[in-house]
Amino acid sequence: MSREHSFSSAELADAFDRTNIQPAILEAMAKPYEAKPWYAYRKLFLTEKRISGGKDFLAMNAAALREAEARYGVSRYIITAIIGIESAYGNKPGKYKVMDSLSTLSFQYPRRAQFFRNELEQFLLLCREEGMDYLAPQGSYAGAMGMPQFMPSSYRKLAADGDGDGKRDIWNNPADAIASVARYFSKNGWHTGAPIASPATVNGAAAGLASKKAGLNATLDSLLADGVRIEDPVSGNPKAGLQMLEGENGPDYWVIFHNFIVIMRYNHSPLYAMAAYEISRELANSR
């Protein structure tokens, strides 16, 4: 950091002296939520409390959500669902010092050490850019920060100033968090007004088209021709895929579209993307 970015070696040495390796972080990395079956994962996020919190968030931040929707073309319901999953609408942004999390994973988690070392580098840079004490920001056990749980690299590239005050405070300012999520999706290819997913039923051989791995390997017309039926009306013939999720009483089938894959660029798990979509549907239908 000193050689490549002109940091003070003494200043960083002092910061690392006050940084702690956290065994609890390594334990959490070994038991991710996304390892659960869909029916168990869904129950963690599709709760009355989260839906109620989402309604409150929509009401309290209507102007900021309207502005983000107009500027970036991303649905206010998806933005709200993401913030709801990530931090319970800002109520649970994480209890670990980001410096502790990223250092623990950079030097004690060999499987993804390079990824986290890159994020540690980005974190030190953003602290300097934003004038933050290295030991002050808090986040998740994986080093994700604020209401939208941005990794440091995402913060530096995509965090947005939602209210024009010259700051990008994703910890305490809902307008900044909202704009940041919207900008993230916009930059990752969100198609305004396009479908995300639809519940589906399959007939006969169509079940063989389904995959647990999300992908767009067909078109809607070809899936329909093969015996797949969808509940929600979708216009045109977009690229599509048949997604199978592990339901409590057997497989759950969904037809997924481009915007579903965009949600997965926020978190690579199809379980996460489906939870976000289902929450957004609940919020949209409660208007």
2-31+92-173: CATH class: mainly alpha
Q: Longest C-alpha distance within the chain, in Å?
A: 68
pLDDT higher than 80, residue 287: no
For residue 206, the model assigns a pLDDT of: 82
Residue 204: pLDDT band (50, 70, 90) is confident
DSSP letter for 145, please: B
Residue 35: pLDDT band (50, 70, 90) is confident
Chain centroid to CA 92: 15
Q: How many residues in the chain? A: 287
- Cross-strand partners of 228: 202
pLDDT higher than 90, residue 33: no
**pTM of full prediction above 0.75:** yes
Report the C-alpha gap between 147 and 263 in whole angstroms: 17
For residue 176, the model assigns a pLDDT of: 98
CB 176 within 8 A of CB 162: yes
**30/128: higher pLDDT:** 128
Mean pLDDT calculated for residue range 31-47: 89
State both tokens at 52. Answer: 């109620």
Question: In the chain, where are the structural domains located?
Answer: 2-31+92-173
- For the chain, what is the mean pLDDT? 95
CB 40 within 8 A of CB 29: no
Mean pLDDT calculated for residue range 231-254: 95
User: What whole-number percentage of the chain has pLDDT above 70?
Assistant: 100
- Cross-strand partners of 245: 252
CB 276 within 8 A of CB 253: no
List Cα–Cα distances, 127 to 21, 103, 147, 154, 166, in angstroms.
20, 15, 17, 14, 16
Q: Which distant-in-sequence residues (6+ apart) come within 8 Å of 143 by Cβ?
A: 98, 101, 102, 105, 116, 119, 120, 123, 151, 152
**pLDDT tens digits for 102-151?**
999 999 999 999 999 999 999 999 999 999 999 999 999 999 999 999 99
CB atoms within 10 A of CB 20: 12
Q: Are strands 250-256 and 239-247 parallel, antiparallel or unpaired?
A: antiparallel
Mean pLDDT calculated for residue range 22-35: 88
- Burial string for 24-39 (b: 16+ CB within 10 Å, else e) reads ebeebbeeebeeeebe
Judge whether 121 counts as a catalytic residue: no
Please pick, among 86, 119, 130, 248, the residue that the annotation labels catalytic.
Answer: 86
Residue 209: pLDDT band (50, 70, 90) is confident
- Which residue from 83, 100, 85 is spatially nearest to 33, judged by alpha carbons? 85
Mean pLDDT calculated for residue range 25-48: 90
pLDDT higher than 80, residue 239: yes
CB 144 within 8 A of CB 28: no
> Residue 120, CB half-sphere, CA atoms under 13 Å: how many?
22
